[in-house]
Structure 1
Amino acid sequence: MKEIVTIQVGDYANYIGSHFWNFQDELIGLAGDPQADSVFKNQDLNMDVLYRTGETHQGIDTYTPRLVSINMRGSLGSMSSRGTLYKEVAPTTSDVFTWTGSVSTQASEPREKNLFLRSLYEEESQNMVNEISGSHSGSPSEYEDKDITESLENGVQFWTDYSKVHFHPQSLYELNGVWTDVEEFDNYGIGRDSFSWASHGEEISDRLRFFVEECDHVQGFQFVVDDSGGFSSVGAEFLENIVDEYTNTPVLLYAARGSGSRASLQTRKRTILVELHDAISFSRLSSYSKLIVPVGLPSLGRASKFLHIEDEKHYHSSAVYAAALHSISLPFRMLPVGPTADACSVSGAVDFHGLIQMLSGQGRQNMVSILDVSMPTPALTGGQNEVSLLENFQPLTPMISEDGEDIHAIEHLTVHGAFASVEGRRATVCEVKDSLDAAFERANTRPMFHHLSVALCPLPIPLPFPSIFGNQVGKHGEMISSQLTNSSSKGSLDVHSIPMAARLRSSSAVLPLLENKLQNLHRYGITRGAAGAELLSSWGFGKEELVEMQEMLSKMVATLCPPQSSSDSD
């Protein structure tokens, strides 16, 4: 088995991670639920790729994510940094006789659990009682699902507020001593000043080592970092350590930021700081990863015509990015296809190394990929305004060129839970393949190479998922009518699963993003009399290091620039 270790660094990265692990937990629960839809029974997915088995001191079996999560102290809300499965033992201290003065103790009250977390605790307590007594009956819950979903819509303050997953004590790491408010922890320099690898690095490395050393064969690190502020620096330090210690283990890096996370830039000084942060962050993070995927639109309004996103709510926007990451990760844990290929429920398994080689190791050898999503993806045939899988994709990567096609592009697509028609019949693997081939035939241009992974299992929608679906979306993600208005939104009580499609592509469409980073680094940081030179110096960057970053970005741009024709050079 080839395991994956997931790393989440920063507040928004953990918002995404909370939804991502909720999807996995829901899949595991549905697979064992006799009342669940049969499509969830034979998923042909090996969840051990993402999860580890263990045992508490009381001998209770555990199944927890293979995860290292890093955030500020106080970011866990009502959750303990040791998770919920393993009881935390209060440290004992001996009396100190060398101090004769008075002693005062200050302690803050633990944060109260919200309705959702209280309902989880009640359900788990009832399950334990049933196990002990051998009973299968339970007392009715005092918490209504409708009240729970409404409380989440109006009251999420932490990523743990909607997490339904148990974590291992080694998973959740708080940066003690980093007391800066998240809103002010907003640039690479602050992160560098506040975080010292010498102070925190060994403990973080030990936590990662704990998960890696119990693996049979690690296929790679799935790394999600909030790159909108100081956590870029924390992530870069962590990545540098990973590259040094795990030389041959690839890193798939998602550099994420929340929608609407940047306030309007009212001053030139603020503009320079933000543009330099973005250039430095991207340069540093990309230098330590095999493949970097920038995600985070200023607004998610265009991500899907079937969604209603309130951009100011991280709880909303992170759900979309998490769904896309879930889809992209499916091929990493698909079981090998047997001799009955036509009847199988998955096709197109690929591991980390294969995907990265596919997208960054062919032709141009570019290491920046675009993430697109179709959420939910419409039925393959039969709609009134029928569109192909390809036409329904919307980019989640910012600053992407929408004009023209790249004949040298390389694409990896994942489609799961698709409907063959509007009547609601699930499409077979072969039908999805045929539909995609037909879409490419009709397209004006097609990529140089594409790889398709298909699974029958749709995206499950767990209870704490936000109310972001338009009212055209049915219970199983089908389009029920194009005539309905978009005045209201649906959530998990109305929508139980949806068909999904996601795509990673290496394409010249990412050139505007790369050119923007390169131009701003040169303009504000390197050119003679640059307005941001003093700022970068205060962040600890010298001229030689900045020139190296510029050369790396220039190489990325040159790799994707189309070759000049002889007429252009005359």
Structure 2
Amino acid sequence: MREIVTVQVGSFANFIGSHFWNFQDEMLGLAADPYGDPAFKTQSLNMDVIYRTGETHQGTTTYTPRLLSIDFQGSLGSVSSKGTLYSEGSNEPSEVVTWAGHVSTHASEPQKKNLFLQSLYQEEQDAPLTNGINGEAKDSQHEIQDTDIVNCLDEGVQFWTDFSKVHYHPQSLYEVNGLWMDAKQFDNYGIGRDVFMENLRGEEICDKLRFFIEECDHIQGFQFIVDDSGGFSPLAADFLESVSDEYTNTPVLLYAVRGPSSHMSLSSRKQTVVRDLHDAVSFSRLSSFCKMIVPVGLPSLSRSKTSTFLKIKDENPYHCSAVYAAALHSTSLPFRMEPLGATADLSDVSGAVDVNGFVQMLAGQSRQNMVAILDAAMPGPCLSGKQDKQSLLGNLHPLTPEVAEDVDDLQAVESMIVHGAIGSGGHRLSVSEVKNAIHGVYECATTRPMFCHLSAARCPLPIPLPFPSIFGNLVGQHGELLGSPILGSSSRGSLDVHSIPMAARIRSSRAIMPFLENRLANLRKFGIERGCPGTELLRSWGFGKDELEDMGETLSKMVRTVDPYSDISSDSD
């Protein structure tokens, strides 16, 4: 077994994670469904890589994500941090026996389950629904309609658990308590600087992680999804430092994610300086404790080329996180593919690689850069016909911000993942057909990377019921791109689209230069140069001059590695 432990830190990271685990749960359900799509009935994807088998105290077997989720206290909404599978006894507070004085109890009203969570409970209890949306009485004989659930979610998702269809182990959910502030106040690097070390939080978090690691036979790596904006970034950096010290030989693949709210335009120069310094410091520290960091999150996903066939509301994290989660699902597939055997030509997958091999392939000995670009095509285009073949690379658009376009890089290295590909006529292509089509794509390309690793799978991306209605009216039931729009609503969801083909790519390329140069330039201009406006701010965040200069040198080395001829990398402090 080559297990992966996933860690999600921060609100938007958990929104992405909620969609990610919904995809996995849907795949498991379709694989077990005798009437389900045969493409999902594959033994070639080992779900035990990211899931764990356990047992409750009552002897019931459980199958839960190998996951540690970290977020604010209260971020779980109506879901208990103990989960639902292992709940024991009453949650009533115990009687105080050491105090003879007056005792007053202050209890907040518990969050009510939305219609989707009520439907899950009804399904598990095999009982009719008696309370509707907002607790309104409903006919006990009335079954919950899927359309009602979709409308309920579209009307408003407040917590990432509002649309989660997965059971979690009690060790998976950690709420950061005692901060006495809300998420909007937890918005800069300094405010989260000491959170990990205070009140034994670090020990508690590390103990939860250790629970999952100690039951692994042979862990292949960590998959971290971390909020790169706000106070969760320093908490994650301190946690990553602890992980790198304790699990030295276990590679960390880190997705540094940004929600739509982090890209809001700022009204004052002071706010701009604070954000630019946060971005530089956050990226420098996070990248120091992982083998590879992949920045994810565009300023406007709705106006990006990625959303050509999508209808995204930028201000809605429930929407944006679904797209990023789909791409992360695709990039994780090679880590759980079974290696090819004697029946390679008949296999449902190809291109298996573990986390360490993946990182080494992209970083390599000749190019030790720590940052990579994530691209996606959602849905993936048809792979039949010469014109369509040429369009695949043109349909892969970056989900990484501040990336240069049309960059010729003879030293670029890529890992491409294509799954559920559709050919002309709407039929799903075999793995061998996909491989032949992709080879044709690169033969037609005007510029080629130095090396490209291809992973392919027959199974498409399943669209579970709580997925948002973000598909445009040119997307068909199985993700095929239509020649003319479907009449009716401009947005289509899980009731209309059941699965889609996906293509995703992680690449090491000079195209990341603007991202790196901006962070290095801002750190120098606002934090290192004599008389810079951010000196006092950085000191209040706990950073001295020497530490800042080390950060600047780290970023400068990354720039020189990507482009030895860059002007900014030769600037002296």
Q: TM-score range by the shorter chain?
A: over 0.9
Q: Secondary structure at the match of 2:371?
A: coil
TM-aligned CA distance change 1:563 to 1:534, over 3 Å = closer
Mapping for residues 350-429 of structure 1, pairs under 5 Å: 350-382=353-385, 387-421=390-424, 423-429=425-431
Do 2:389 and 2:437's aligned partners in 1 also have CA atoms closer than 8 Å? no
1:92, 1:188 → 2: CA distance? 36
1:419, 1:50 → 2: CA distance? 27
Do 1:292 and 1:367's aligned partners in 2 also have CA atoms closer than 8 Å? yes
1:556, 1:95 → 2: CA distance? 57
Q: Does 1:4 align with 2:7?
A: no
Match of 2:479 in 1: 477
Match of 1:46 in 2: 46
Q: What is the TM-score when the length of structure 1 is the normalising length?
A: 0.94
Q: Does 1:551 align with 2:523?
A: no
2:229, 2:488 → 1: CA distance? 31
Match of 1:68 in 2: 68
1:539, 1:127 → 2: CA distance? 53
Do 2:348 and 2:457's aligned partners in 1 also have CA atoms closer than 8 Å? yes
CA deviation vs aligned residue, 1:273-308 (integer Å, no higher than 9, x gap)? 000000000000000000000000001122231111
How far apart are residue 263 of structure 1 and its match? 2.1
Match of 2:263 in 1: 262
How far apart are residue 424 of structure 1 and its match? 1.2
TM-aligned CA distance change 1:242 to 1:195, over 3 Å = closer
Q: Does 1:115 align with 2:115?
A: yes
Mapping for residues 264-343 of structure 1, pairs under 5 Å: 264-301=265-302, 302=304, 303-343=306-346
1:109, 1:58 → 2: CA distance? 30
Match of 2:81 in 1: 81
Match of 1:136 in 2: none
Do 2:375 and 2:505's aligned partners in 1 also have CA atoms closer than 8 Å? yes
Do 1:410 and 1:448's aligned partners in 2 also have CA atoms closer than 8 Å? yes
2:566, 2:176 → 1: CA distance? 50
Do 1:72 and 1:179's aligned partners in 2 also have CA atoms closer than 8 Å? no
Q: Secondary structure at the match of 2:18?
A: helix
CA deviation vs aligned residue, 1:484-512 (integer Å, no higher than 9, x gap)? 58961100000000000110000000000
2:42, 2:492 → 1: CA distance? 28
TM-aligned CA distance change 1:2 to 1:194, over 3 Å = closer
TM-aligned CA distance change 1:485 to 1:230, over 3 Å = farther
TM-aligned CA distance change 1:197 to 1:216, over 3 Å = farther
Of stretches 402-411 and 192-201 in structure 1, the one that deviates more from structure 2 is 192-201
2:211, 2:65 → 1: CA distance? 13
Do 1:348 and 1:453's aligned partners in 2 also have CA atoms closer than 8 Å? yes
* Alignment equivalent of 1:432, drawn from 421, 431, 434: 434
1:531, 1:120 → 2: CA distance? 53
1:307, 1:297 → 2: CA distance? 15
1:94, 1:143 → 2: CA distance? 40
Q: Secondary structure at the match of 1:8?
A: strand
Of stretches 158-167 and 141-150 in structure 1, the one that deviates more from structure 2 is 141-150
Shift >6 Å, 4+ stretches: 383-386
How far apart are residue 41 of structure 1 and its match? 1.1
Q: Does 1:29 align with 2:40?
A: no
Q: Does 1:238 align with 2:239?
A: yes
Do 1:373 and 1:395's aligned partners in 2 also have CA atoms closer than 8 Å? yes
2:315, 2:543 → 1: CA distance? 33
Do 2:8 and 2:69's aligned partners in 1 also have CA atoms closer than 8 Å? yes
How far apart are residue 196 of structure 1 and its match? 2.7
Q: Is there any run of 5+ residues in structure 1 with no aligned partner, and where? A: 129-138, 566-570
Of stretches 555-564 and 183-192 in structure 1, the one that deviates more from structure 2 is 555-564
Q: Secondary structure at the match of 2:426?
A: coil
Match of 2:466 in 1: 464
What amino acid sits opposite 1:218 in the alignment? I
Q: Is there any run of 5+ residues in structure 2 with no aligned partner, and where? A: 129-139, 568-573
How far apart are residue 385 of structure 1 and its match? 6.8
TM-aligned CA distance change 1:34 to 1:265, over 3 Å = same
Do 2:19 and 2:467's aligned partners in 1 also have CA atoms closer than 8 Å? yes
Q: Secondary structure at the match of 2:64?
A: strand
Of stretches 226-235 and 474-483 in structure 1, the one that deviates more from structure 2 is 474-483
How far apart are residue 141 of structure 1 and its match? 5.8
What amino acid sits opposite 1:540 in the alignment? G
CA deviation vs aligned residue, 1:152-209 (integer Å, no higher than 9, x gap)? 0112000000000000000000011023211221111011154435620111111000
Do 1:372 and 1:395's aligned partners in 2 also have CA atoms closer than 8 Å? yes
Match of 1:133 in 2: none
Q: Secondary structure at the match of 2:184?
A: helix
Q: Secondary structure at the match of 1:489?
A: coil
Aligned residues: 553
Match of 2:133 in 1: none
Q: Secondary structure at the match of 1:156?
A: coil
Q: Secondary structure at the match of 1:397?
A: coil
Match of 1:215 in 2: 216
Match of 2:455 in 1: 453
Do 1:191 and 1:231's aligned partners in 2 also have CA atoms closer than 8 Å? yes
What amino acid sits opposite 2:356 in the alignment? H
Q: What is the TM-score when the length of structure 2 is the normalising length?
A: 0.93
What amino acid sits opposite 1:241 in the alignment? S
Identity %: 65
What amino acid sits opposite 1:251 in the alignment? V
Q: Does 1:444 align with 2:452?
A: no
What amino acid sits opposite 1:255 in the alignment? A
1:25, 1:435 → 2: CA distance? 30
Q: Secondary structure at the match of 2:174?
A: strand
What amino acid sits opposite 2:190 in the alignment? G
Match of 2:503 in 1: 501
Q: Secondary structure at the match of 1:184?
A: coil
1:458, 1:141 → 2: CA distance? 34
Q: Secondary structure at the match of 1:13?
A: helix
What amino acid sits opposite 1:83 in the alignment? G
1:352, 1:244 → 2: CA distance? 19
1:482, 1:405 → 2: CA distance? 35
What amino acid sits opposite 2:97 in the alignment? V
How far apart are residue 404 of structure 1 and its match? 2.4
